[in-house]
Amino acid sequence: MSVSVKRLLLAAFAFATGVGLLGLLFYESVRFNDLDATLTARLLAPEGSARALIAHFASDGGGGGPLVVGLLVIAALGFLWRRPWHLLAGVAVFFLANITTQLMKLVLSHPELQGALGASYPVEIDYPSGHTTAAFSLGFALWVTAPPRWRAWAAAFGLAYGSAVGLGVVIAGWHYVSDVIGAVMVVGFWGALALAALVAAGLESPADRPPRSRPHRER
């Protein structure tokens, strides 16, 4: 097993651990909940304000319509760029991350689990954020499908898109900040595993980057 694969697997483990710890803090730490609620309240926009309308618009970017269009565009680009395995890895991360988020919501909302973890009151579970998971996983799919020379642009677009949706759901009052952070780590977990698989298969490596141009010396 190469050093790159080991590092990616370690990153996946770190993301998974982070998701679990954040969920436990939500249930068992009053101080964490106060901090989470305070930070979210500071970002929250007044209902009916221009900032709230923009936030709702940004949040809708993680909905069904934009996601379907995005997946179709990425699929077309994957075939155009002749990167079927990278496209497959990106699409797999998209679906696995979103399935994971929805399953986590179902499991964490179970009354018996809440009682075992110490939550003695009804808890509305929105952890992790589904819209944020969808947006960042779509961004990852675009990035991993793109050839090296386009990856900087793909990364910039994916980060801007995911951040807009993530901030939007907080400002609009749909989610707490912790829900967004948890969603990003869910995508990070599956993204690290996908990259590890590509590296192990010889389809991705640290050398899979555009070569740096060397400056010419003046004579």
Q: Is the pLDDT of residue 74 over 90?
A: yes
CB atoms within 10 A of CB 215: 6
pLDDT bin (cut points 50, 70, 90) of residue 2 is: confident
pLDDT bin (cut points 50, 70, 90) of residue 67 is: very high
What's the pLDDT at 23? Answer: 84
Over residues 34-50, mean pLDDT:
90
Are 28 and 164 contacting, i.e. CB atoms less than 8 angstroms apart? no
Provide the mean pLDDT of the chain: 87
What's the pLDDT at 199? Answer: 95
pLDDT, greater one: 56 or 114: 56
Cβ neighbours for 112, distance < 8 A, ≥ 6 positions apart = none
Are 181 and 167 contacting, i.e. CB atoms less than 8 angstroms apart? no
- Tokens at 26, concatenated: 């939500």
Cβ neighbours for 100, distance < 8 A, ≥ 6 positions apart = 133, 186, 189, 190
* pLDDT-above-70 percentage for the chain: 86
pLDDT in tens, 128-166: 999 999 999 999 999 999 999 999 999 999 999 999 999
What's the pLDDT at 125? Answer: 62
Are 104 and 127 contacting, i.e. CB atoms less than 8 angstroms apart? yes
- Residue ranges per structural domain of the chain: 3-200
pLDDT, greater one: 85 or 213: 85
pLDDT bin (cut points 50, 70, 90) of residue 213 is: very low
What's the pLDDT at 217? Answer: 44
pLDDT in tens, 97-125: 999 999 998 887 755 555 555 554 444 56
What's the pLDDT at 219? Answer: 39
Over residues 174-197, mean pLDDT:
96
What's the pLDDT at 56? Answer: 92
Are 80 and 165 contacting, i.e. CB atoms less than 8 angstroms apart? no
Q: How far apart are CA 140 and CA 162, in angstroms?
A: 10
Cα-flanking dihedrals φ and ψ of residue 120, to 5°? Answer: -95, 15
What's the pLDDT at 58? Answer: 93
Are 134 and 98 contacting, i.e. CB atoms less than 8 angstroms apart? yes
